[in-house]
Amino acid sequence: DQQVKQNSPSLSVQEGRISILNCDYTNSMFDYFLWYKKYPAEGPTFLISISSIKDKNEDGRFTVFLNKSAKHLSLHIVPSQPGDSAVYFCAASANPGGYNKLIFGAGTRLAVHP
């Protein structure tokens, strides 16, 4: 029973365009959400997070949107760059910073092409 779902295993986007990565969750107790980025042969690195008290958080080219009623969050990358090509994991926690309860999605592989 996957509590965090990333239904698109892959996404291909042209350089300069917007990349939108989606994530759905089922547990209404989740109140803190994170996105991690992973390059091949490396560990995941933290990208951006959002608390359930917000519906948007922005950091440079990266924006995360949270729709609590739909139990859905999305990561927008604008403009997309070739260096953004990686696997992106959505993660959720039931307690802020409660990493022992951090649940990850299966990941979406983003390919940004010229």
Rounded distance, CA 40 to CA 31, Å?
29
Which segment (10-18, 44-52, 58-66, 70-78) binds other proteins by CB under 8 A?
Answer: 44-52
Positive or negative, the CA dihedral 67, 36, 8, 79 is positive
Q: What character string, x for contact with other proteins (CB under 8 A) and - otherwise, covers 65-94? A: ------------------------x-x---
β-partners of residue 86 are 110
Nearer to other proteins, 69 or 100 (CB): 100
CA atoms within 13 A on the CB side of 64: 24
β-partners of residue 10 are 109
Q: Residue 108, interface with other proteins (CB under 8 A)?
A: no
Q: Residue 97, interface with other proteins (CB under 8 A)?
A: yes
Q: Residue 26, interface with other proteins (CB under 8 A)?
A: no
Which segment (4-12, 13-21, 67-75, 78-86) binds other proteins by CB under 8 A?
Answer: 4-12
% helix / strand / coil in the chain, to the nearest 5?
5, 55, 40
Q: Which stretches of the chain bind other proteins, using CB under 8 A?
A: 2, 4, 6, 9, 32, 41-46, 49, 51, 89, 91, 95-100, 102-107
